[in-house]
Structure 1
Amino acid sequence: MLNNKLDINVNNNFNKLRLKLLFLPFLLLLIIAFILFIKSSFSVDGYIKIQENLFFYLNGKLSQLPSLQYNLTQLGDALIIFSLVTIFIIYIPKIWGAVLTSGLISLIVSYVLKRVFAVPRPAAIFDNESFTIIGKTLKGATSLPSGHSITTFSVITILLFAFMPKKITSKITWSVFILLVGLVVVISRVGVGAHYPLDVLIGATIGYICAVLAIFINNKFNIWAWIRNKKYYPIFIVILITGGLTIVHKILKANLIIFYFSLFAIISTFYLMIKIYVKK
């Protein structure tokens, strides 16, 4: 009964959303584009130059906590952040429908824009000894936008609206809290030396847009309604096993605490799903 109530509440919250929610993020992107234009920074070189000092400053400060930054930045990995919300497949499938749609939109948008802009990563431009790189050194021309930031804010935005409280004060508190969490996660991409500041700001904004569009698409077409049907649980069980094994492989390569949280989430969902399916 509680599970059904949660799903109904989330569905009601999603149905309350209006397209005007896209006004501010699109306005922010236009403002960024305008500033780059008036600063004569609309080229790749100009884009990098205008935020060079800020990149070095943020990277220098954030990289003083390398373990924290390395763990936080993993949340931009779709496997890791999706694993943390797998429990919603069982309890609030409406959320997972939005997550899947948003994930597909984000993948396409990120792929296209990275190739259109072709901005080199910091490690491909700056002397690698002049800033801190945590983890793998990335040197491709795929800096703008930050894919990790898009993924993070896609999920963050869906959770933001899914669990939006009714009282105005609670709405403000919840919104500020979850958006700050998202910003802390995405700025870690600068901390690990993988992206410029504008990469993550633009990526986060795009992630928000992708999530809102995904919610509207799901409301209109309900393309993932089959998720709530327990006869499809074997498909998810196979996916969970595959995801769990992949995370174990990640743990063997880099023993990060965030991987254990994701693995625990997958194991918990796997156990509950098996239990429910057997009873069925």
Structure 2
Amino acid sequence: MRQLFLENADGGIEKIRSEKANPLLDLYVTFNFSRLRPSLFFLPAVLLLLIAAFLFMFDALRAESYILIQREYFFMLNAALSQYPEMQYNLTETGNTLVVASLLSIFVLHAPKIWESLASALLVSCLFSSVLKKLFHVPRPAAFFDNGSFTIIGRTLSGHNSLPSGHSITIFTALSILMFAFMPARLINRIFWCALFVSAGLALVLTRVALGAHYPIDVLVGGIIGYFCALAGIFISTRYRIWKWIGNRKYHPFFIIAFTGCWLALAFRIMQEHLFIFCLSLFVLTISLYKITAAYVKS
């Protein structure tokens, strides 16, 4: 267990036991989150308004016209990106909550502030995704087009819940939290840092088009909503501290049980679909489980 040393009132050195494996990392994340301002919500609001204005201008607010206005772009992107089916199928699973939780599991020990924000953000994203999908009721590509006219990778999704893309929301929620958590201090570094995360996010959400599961605007809207949900999660967890128990080691058995459940779920998925992303998630989760369990036993 790492220890911090502080000078007490009498000039002596006092040993302070830390509840976190890496208190400085968590302090860095907390500091970065504390610098965020509500004005950051302005960007996603403007982007969503611009998309709505574009659709209104071309009379594409109805489900059928919404699909037809981006028909050519959907077929073009689907044809180009689906040439690498295995890679696209692996990358699209980064929008799977099970994979996200597994890959970020180590932060429960080293930077619980990330998990405090992630917990709130995922709840907000789940609410937005379920409500908006039912509200817009847009048919998926497989429910609207002839299935032989484009490439479908994996399961054929033919419901009426295309807008927004749930995977895209999850991807940008997780990436945005990480982006803000480890934001560099210098302005030029921040610009490159944000560009890197946005580029990675766009590459990941476009896999939903490659699989034939969503239209281009579905994933753009999903990504913007994910960014909004990340900010909401950060502000909620910072202001109300409803998840502050996450950083307390006496609650680690909860995560040991939860992550063991995730481990079993991943093992089952690997038996069904031997995807590299599931194997990687299982490997990371195994290390996290070992470290969290060892830290709890030691404490």
Q: TM-score range by the shorter chain?
A: over 0.9
- Residue by residue over 1:42-101, the C-alpha shift from the partner in whole angstroms, topping out at 9 and shown as x without a partner, is 100110000000000000000001011000100011111121000000000000011110
Matching residue within 6, 29, 52 for 1:10: 29
Deviation string for 1:102-151 (max 9, x for gaps)? 00000011000000000010000111111000011000001000000000
- Distance between the aligned counterparts of 1:164 and 1:223, measured in 2? 24
Task: Find the partner of 1:149 among 168, 188, 201.
Answer: 168
**Residue 188 (1) aligns with residue 225 (2):** no
Identify the residue that residue 56 of structure 1 maps to in structure 2. 75
Q: Write the distance in 1 (CA, Å) between the matches of 2:140 and 2:121.
A: 25
Following TM superposition, where does structure 1 have runs of at least 4 consecutive aligned residues deviating by more than 3 angstroms?
Answer: none
* Aligned-pair Cα RMSD in Å: 0.8
**What is the number of residues matched between the two proteins?**
280
Which of 86, 90, 103 is residue 105 of structure 2 equivalent to? Answer: 86
- 1:70 corresponding residue in structure 2: 89
Q: How does 1:1-280 map to 2 (within 5 A)?
A: 3-280=22-299
Percentage of matched positions with identical amino acids: 48
Greater share of residues in helix = 1
Q: Post-superposition shift, 1:219?
A: 1.1
1:236, 1:81 → 2: CA distance? 15
TM-score by length of 2: 0.92
1:166-203 deviations in Å (ceiling 9; x for gaps): 01111111111111111111010000000000000000
Structure 2 gap segments, 5+ residues each: 3-20
Write the distance in 2 (CA, Å) between the matches of 1:241 and 1:219: 28
One-letter amino acid of the structure 2 residue matched with residue 70 of structure 1: Y
Displacement, 1:254? 0.8
CA radius of gyration, larger in:
2
Q: Which runs of 5+ in 1 are unaligned?
A: none
